[in-house]
Amino acid sequence: MDHLGWAPWLILVAVYTAVVVRAVLLERREPYARAAWLLLLVALPTIGTILYLLFGEPWVSPRLRRRTRLVHRALVEHAPPPAPDPPSAVARNAFRTCETASGWPLSTATAPWVAPDADSAIDRVVADIDAARSSVHLSFYIWLTDHNGSRVADAICRAAQRGVTCRIVADAIGSRSLIRSPQWAAMRAAGARLCASLTVPWGIGFLAGHRTDLRNHRKIAVIDGRIGWCGSQNCADAAFLPKRRFAPWVDILFRFEGPVVRQAELIFASAWMVETGEDMPAVFADQPPLTPRHGYPAIAVGTGPLSPASTMTNIFAAVLAAAEHHVVITTPYFAPDPPLLDAIVAAARRGVDLSIIFPNRNDSFITGAISRAYYPVLARAGARIFEFRGGLLHAKTLVVDGALMLVGSANMDRRSLDLNFENNMLIQSPELAEAVSAHQRRWLADAIEISPGGVTARSLPRRFFDNLLTMAAPLF
């Protein structure tokens, strides 16, 4: 074979070698993830190289990174001033962690209200939109054309037609059915400004400037800059028709007012400005933030693949470190990195009464299996494990000592920890914590506790399979 015949093989070898070196040298990676990728590349060179090029890194182009930094720098100047009331001493480090992650100081929230169910949440969101006078800012990962999704879309049309500025963000993948529907066109025709977030041509994601499966997972609603909404609920019915066999989807959404609303609006505006180019600082210049006043210490935080490594893990860990007596966690998807798992285990070991509620049936078979693989570790540390049977428990809640609460869009899996754009709120409010705890108690009443014997009752083949998946979790 002449030298031309060797050329393709030499190119493949060069690509493979470059990928291996890159996998080892990448700094934004935990050692366990580096080892998993190296093992895959050595065991399956061709498949491993393809998978690494597609999913090996949460890569974002230098151009998009630079634009995001400039946008954040321009918007952070419009954040509200620091809160007049500091948090308690035990919660201070958790808030400081969030301040570092967000780039703005602690704020305050007033009038927090937790919706009793999905339909009640949509009722109140629609009422807020119908009462809007100046602006409506909405961002949802999944927005369906079902009953609740249509009600919100119709409210947007009404608001836009009466002159309210409506800026709407829907993830291009999660909300693709809405984006292709007549309702999307109707909102645009009514005058709403629409953005299909993170649009990617499949197969050539590099042309879009970011990895194909990086998604905008946020759930944000801000009305007139005065009312904010945060939580896990998408803009859809609890029946959630695309995955109806897991229904009802059980979520949480809470409403709040006060200066912290501006922080939530800045998280929305950062994505909007990056993707549409609209000069949002000019918009905020005409709408000064609310004057700080007495309320509950609170901070809104946006995270994503452009955040420093382990930012979301650090937030979870800091909140858990504040626990002295009891913690209740709900998360549908549990595939933690080692630092997050260590933080949960450490809280349980030091005597904190720690309970975790998972869904009994998970729409993600792989993530459900990974979750169960961690049951023995959690149980040995003293954590109590529950599985909710009344549908897919999709709420992401963390309540500490009946006073400190973290709620938002982030799960305890690698997608939320490293890959997706998320929004969460940390608030110190006994009233709001009790309202969320009331939900948690209802979920516990419809859950089964996994006994220590049940934790270890999995068959040998099932344990082998589940544990094998935990090794693959860092790859994606």
Residue 281 near residue 78, CB atoms below 8 Å: yes
- Domain interval for residue 251: 62-75+112-294
Q: Does 94 fall in a domain?
A: no
DSSP string across 440-465: HHHHHHTEEEE-HHHHT-S-HHHHHH
Same domain, 274 and 169: yes
Distance between CA atoms of residues 34 and 333, nearest Å? 22
Average pLDDT value for residue range 365-376: 91
Same domain, 143 and 250: yes
- CA terminus-to-terminus distance, the chain: 39
Same domain, 232 and 289: yes
0.85 cut: is pTM over it?
Answer: yes
Residue 53 near residue 61, CB atoms below 8 Å: no
How much is the CA Rg of the chain, to the nearest whole Å? 23
Q: Does 145 fall in a domain?
A: yes
pLDDT of 65 strictly over 70: yes
Which band of pLDDT confidence, cut at 50, 70 and 90, is reported for residue 449?
A: very high
Of the residues 267, 294, 321, which one is the last residue of a structural domain?
294
Least confident of 74-83, 95-104, 176-185, 249-258: 74-83
Q: Does 302 fall in a domain?
A: no
Same domain, 327 and 470: yes
User: Six-digit token pair at 2?
Assistant: 């002449």
DSSP string across 371-440: HHHTHHHHHHHT-EEEEE-SSEE---EEEETTTEEEEES--BSHIIIIISBEEEEEEE-HHHHHHHHHHH
Number of domains in the chain: 3
Same domain, 405 and 424: yes
pLDDT value for 371: 93
pLDDT value for 453: 74
Same domain, 38 and 66: no
pLDDT of 386 strictly over 90: yes
Residue 349 near residue 381, CB atoms below 8 Å: yes
**Which CATH number covers residue 149?**
3.30.870.10
Q: Does 416 fall in a domain?
A: yes
* Chain position carrying tokens 């002159």: 163
DSSP string across 246-267: GPSEE--EEEEESTHHHHHHHH
Q: Does 88 fall in a domain?
A: no
pLDDT value for 476: 58
Mean pLDDT taken over the chain: 90
Same domain, 28 and 68: no
Catalytic residues: 217, 219, 224, 394, 396, 401
Q: What is the DSSP letter of 308?
A: P
Same domain, 124 and 164: yes
Of the residues 294, 321, 351, which one is the last residue of a structural domain?
294
DSSP string across 95-119: HHHHHHHHSS--EEEEEEEE-SSHH
In this predicted model, which residue has the larger pLDDT, 263 or 9?
Answer: 263
Residue 82 near residue 106, CB atoms below 8 Å: yes
pLDDT digits (tens, 9 = 90+) for 290-332: 776 789 999 999 999 999 989 999 999 999 999 999 999 999 9
Backbone angles phi and psi of 240, in degrees to 5: 40, 75
User: Six-digit token pair at 57?
Assistant: 């890194």
Side chain identity, residue 215: R
Residue 165 near residue 193, CB atoms below 8 Å: yes
pLDDT digits (tens, 9 = 90+) for 401-411: 999 999 999 99
pLDDT digits (tens, 9 = 90+) for 340-361: 999 999 999 999 999 999 999 9
Q: Does 381 fall in a domain?
A: yes
Q: Does 26 fall in a domain?
A: yes
pLDDT of 420 strictly over 80: yes
Same domain, 267 and 322: no
pLDDT value for 208: 53
Same domain, 348 and 450: yes
Distance between CA atoms of residues 320 and 105, nearest Å? 21
pLDDT value for 292: 66
Q: Maximum Cα–Cα distance for the chain, whole Å?
A: 80
Same domain, 117 and 201: yes
Same domain, 71 and 175: yes
Residues 236, 355, 350, 30: is their CA dihedral positive or negative?
Answer: negative
Of the residues 294, 322, 350, which one is the last residue of a structural domain?
294
pLDDT digits (tens, 9 = 90+) for 70-125: 999 999 999 998 988 778 888 999 999 999 999 999 999 999 999 999 999 999 99
User: In the chain, pLDDT over 70 holds for what percent of residues?
Assistant: 95
